[in-house]
Amino acid sequence: MQPRFSYRSISRVDTWLNRVYTSRYNPLYHSGAIVIAMLLVLLATGLYLLIYYRIGAPHASVERIDAQLWTGRWIRGLHRFASDAAVVAALVHAFRMYAQRRTWGPRALAWVSGVVLLVVIMVSGWTGYVLVWDTHAQLIAAEGARWLDALPLFSEPIGRSFVGESDLPGGFFFLNLFAHIALPIGMGVLLWVHIARVARPVLLPARPVLWGSIAALTLLAIVWPPPMAPAADLLRVPQNVPVDWFFGFWLPLTIRLPAWGVWLLGVLVLALFAAIPWLTRPRPQELPAPATVDERTCTGCEQCVHDCPYDAIEMIARTGDREGMIARVKTELCTSCGICIGSCPPMAISALGTSARAQLEEARAFLAEETPGERDLVIVGCSWSGARAEAERSGAKFMSVPCIGAMHSSTVEILLRGGAGGVLVAGCPEHDGRTREGVTWTEERLFQGRAADLKPRVDRSRIRLVQATLGEKVLLHESVRAFAAEIDALADANGEIDVVDLCRKAQPAVQEESS
């Protein structure tokens, strides 16, 4: 499957931000986890605000909080800015999922629950703003009432509460406060559903991103606290309202539309957003089949169960004449990421129309056709990376795999044994894996003995793993150049025969294993 335009676009931004933050701390890679971090900040700051808020004197009580220079003012600011950051991070996170084609099939549950989460964040924000009962609140409340009055629900329009005939009853603010607290609690349950199909979800961003973002927002709240708008006056049209555009971006549009138009537009946009898993589902002929396990070869080692990023593989007891356990793919949960191809030591798993055995055959055919020499570098990568373009640019040989996580470590060994001077594996950055943990497991398989591990006899100095986005052409190119120079130096040092000879010596052992 080819990357879409949106992926190329975010990849350009990523390239730039990776240069600034390094790929480990690029905040865009941590967007989902940043939302959770912000929700926790909202919880902590919200508890403080709750102590001082009075439903009987909403605006005056917030003014009192704002007058507490050492505490209330910045806590109120942090509460507001954290909610803004949560909206931004959630939108970035959703866009990344779309761009990486992580939307359809078993991920539809995460997508749809994500849309609901976003709506809940929005509604919860609006109720929060109404609590202040300033001119911003007045705008939001009047608009909300106008929309609700278009529904045949109320015998008397609730908009009548905002005409200035009488003061708003405390019950109105109590209801808002209740919704403002209850909705985030419901969000906990939604979040649980959201990540139910993800194994080992990353719930908090890397520490520097976590504390860095909290520190930045706290500083903003201290240096440039949110303004305190005048109290709502229902007998005046609010002037120069300081709007929070993250929550009120729709105001200039909806205020000019009839209420039914707002509903129509809102429902259409939401339905379109929620339907993306079905709109982006590949056509039947392109739909990758779920992984399958060859029961004759499966040894029941459980490695695929440990590696699957979606908990889509389980061990079941064998039936028939063989005893022990066998892996079974839960097809309804399998996203066909292919990581299990690389995790199976006896090469018993097929996915994405290929298998580790087929990969070894491809590697052999590749060697026969390309005949790489000891000064030649083979770049292994997927079509979502810049590997092919880099191979063309630097004159290296290129071997394609569906995903780096789906590459079996024996493929690297075969390539080296076949005469290649070095193998450079190009994968996506660890915190942004399109297949979540693919590149992480591959690094561990190649260098840290994770099954299915690269055998100790293989010379690690001839292998590199580079994590680069599609746009990180310079990084990839520099890595290829540096590695090529090392390979050259190794060739100079070892003389012509050594590598090929060593590999030939190792041949019988590997042949035995791969059969």
Partner 1 sequence: MSAAPMNPERGRAVRTRIVRWLAPVLVTAVMTVGIGWLARAPYQPPGSDSATLRLSWRLRAPVAETCRPRTQAELDALPVHMRTPEVCQSRSAAYDLIVQVDARTADTSRVLQGGAKGDRPLFVLKELSLEPGPHHVRVRFASGAGLPAEESVVLALDTVLHMHAGTVDLVTLGPDGRTLIVRQSTQP
- Burial of 425 per CB tally in 10 Å (0-12, 13-18, 19+): buried
Please, which residue, 186 or 201, has the CB nearer to ligand HEM? 201
CB of 367: closest distance to ligand HEM in angstroms? 34
The footprint of partner 1 on residues 21-40 (CB under 8 A) is: 21, 25
Please, which residue, 9 or 71, has the CB nearer to ligand HEM? 9
Of 33-41, 371-379, 382-390, 501-509: span binding ligand HEM (CB under 6 A)? 33-41
Which residue among 14, 134, 244, 307 contacts partner 1 (CB under 8 A)? Answer: 244
Residues 192-231 as x/- pattern, contact with partner 1 by CB under 8 A? --------------------xx--xx-xx---x-xx--xx
Residues 114-133 as x/- pattern, contact with ligand HEM by CB under 6 A? xx-xx--x------------
For the record, the structure tokens of 293 come out as 């396990």
Contacted entry of partner 1, ligand HEM, none for residue 33, CB cut-off 5 to 8 Å set by kind: ligand HEM
Phi and psi, residue 380, nearest 5°: -105, 130
Cα diameter, the chain: 96
- Walk across the sheet containing 292-293 and list its strands: 292-293, 349-351, 354-355
Enter the DSSP assignment of 288.
P
Contact at 8 Å (CB) between 109 and 197? Answer: yes
Please, which residue, 20 or 368, has the CB nearer to partner 1? 20
The footprint of partner 1 on residues 165-184 (CB under 8 A) is: 165
The footprint of partner 1 on residues 36-65 (CB under 8 A) is: none
Question: What is the DSSP secondary-structure string of 432-479?
Answer: G-TTSSHHHHHHHHHHS--SSPPPTTS-GGGEEEEE--TT-HHHHHHH
Which residue among 51, 153, 237, 317 contacts partner 1 (CB under 8 A)? Answer: 237
Of 7-15, 157-165, 196-204, 294-302: span binding ligand HEM (CB under 6 A)? 196-204
CB of 468: closest distance to ligand HEM in angstroms? 20
Which residue among 2, 5, 20, 51 contacts partner 1 (CB under 8 A)? Answer: 20
Kindly state the helix (H) or strand (E) to which residue 32 belongs, with its residue range.
helix 31-52
d(CA 49, CA 103): 38
Does residue 262 touch partner 1 according to CB under 8 A? no
CB of 277: closest distance to ligand HEM in angstroms? 8
CB of 103: closest distance to ligand HEM in angstroms? 6
Of 150-158, 286-294, 333-341, 416-424: span binding partner 1 (CB under 8 A)? 150-158
For the record, the structure tokens of 191 come out as 């979040």
- Burial of 213 per CB tally in 10 Å (0-12, 13-18, 19+): buried
Does residue 35 touch ligand HEM according to CB under 6 A? yes
Q: How many CB atoms lie within 10 A of CB 8?
A: 14
Question: What is the DSSP secondary-structure string of 252-279?
Answer: HHHTTS-HHHHHHHHHHHHHHHHTHHHH
Which residue among 30, 73, 79, 80 contacts partner 1 (CB under 8 A)? Answer: 80
- Give the position of tokens 């220079």: 69
Does residue 194 touch ligand HEM according to CB under 6 A? yes
Please, which residue, 28 or 423, has the CB nearer to ligand HEM? 28
Phi and psi, residue 351, nearest 5°: -160, 160
Please, which residue, 144 or 184, has the CB nearer to ligand HEM? 184
- Burial of 335 per CB tally in 10 Å (0-12, 13-18, 19+): buried
Q: Strand, helix or coil at 178?
A: helix
d(CA 108, CA 92): 18
Which residue among 51, 56, 239, 285 contacts partner 1 (CB under 8 A)? Answer: 239
Does residue 10 touch partner 1 according to CB under 8 A? no
Please, which residue, 131 or 424, has the CB nearer to partner 1? 131
CB of 118: closest distance to ligand HEM in angstroms? 4
- Which of 444, 462, 464 shows the shortest CA–CA distance to 454? 444
For the record, the structure tokens of 142 come out as 């009047």
Between helix 108-132 and helix 72-99 the angle, nearest 10°, is: 160
- Give the position of tokens 């080296």: 416
Of 102-110, 253-261, 284-292, 353-361: span binding ligand HEM (CB under 6 A)? 102-110
- Which of 414, 418, 385 shows the shortest CA–CA distance to 400? 385
Cis before residue 452, ω within 30 degrees of 0? Answer: yes
CB of 482: closest distance to partner 1 in angstroms? 17
Contacted entry of ligand HEM, partner 1, none for residue 121, CB cut-off 5 to 8 Å set by kind: ligand HEM
CB of 488: closest distance to partner 1 in angstroms? 25
Strand partners, 325: 317
CB of 97: closest distance to partner 1 in angstroms? 21
CB of 480: closest distance to partner 1 in angstroms? 22
Does residue 97 touch ligand HEM according to CB under 6 A? yes
d(CA 51, CA 153): 34
Q: How far is residue 447 from each of residues 153, 451, 455, 510, measured CA to CA in Å?
A: 64, 11, 10, 18
Binding site for ligand HEM (CB under 6 A): 32-33, 35-36, 90, 93-94, 97, 102-103, 107, 110-111, 114-115, 117-118, 121, 191, 194-195, 198, 201-203, 436
Binding site for partner 1 (CB under 8 A): 17, 19-21, 25, 80-81, 84-85, 88, 139, 155-157, 159-160, 163-165, 212-213, 216-217, 219-220, 224, 226-227, 230-231, 233-246, 248, 251-252, 255-256
